Amino acid sequence: VTGSLHIGHALTFTIQDALIRYRRMTGRDTLWQPGTDHAGIATQMVVERQLAEQGITRNDVGRDGLIDRIWTWKEQSGGRILDQLTRLGASADWPRERFTMDPAFSAAVRKVFVTLYKQGLIYRDKRLGNW
């Protein structure tokens, strides 16, 4: 959720759209679930830049204040990105749109991680992880 889409996004979404439409035309069950990502550090940097323009630091607003401002920025920016995707004509399943930090989505991810951990399929260790 760092702002507007750029030409690289347009290319990526066009390719995804062509592939999903092809799969639908060949009779396959498909789901192209649209969503926006909180983008972690990149989003935080955008918000911190906005604060700096006002002469404020993230320490001045505190953790909760920073998170509130990030959610506000997500509402402004995330809507712009999804609007741009719909104007591109992307054939996503728009009623199922998600955001990575939605409470229900985060809870589902935690539940899966706990389940996988209890089943011994994932573990915690001091190792390099590529993801």
For the chain, what are the domain ranges? Answer: 7-118
How much is the pTM? 0.62
Question: Which residue is it, tokens 């609007």?
Answer: 83
Where b means 16+ CB within 10 Å and e means fewer, 56-88 reads eeeeebeeeebeebbeebbeebbeebbeebeee
Structure tokens at 106: 């985060």
Contact 38, 28 (CB under 8 A): no
Label residue 39 by pLDDT band (50, 70, 90): low
Please check whether residue 61 is in contact with residue 54, taking contact to mean a CB–CB distance below 8 angstroms.
Answer: no
- pLDDT at 1 > cutoff 60: no
**Residue of higher predicted confidence among 115 and 76:** 115
Distance from C-alpha of 14 to C-alpha of 20, rounded to nearest angstrom: 10
Residue 128 has pLDDT above 90, yes or no: no
pLDDT tens-digit series, residues 40-77: 777 888 889 999 999 999 999 998 998 898 888 877 77
Nearest CA to 109 among 45, 38, 41, 13? 38
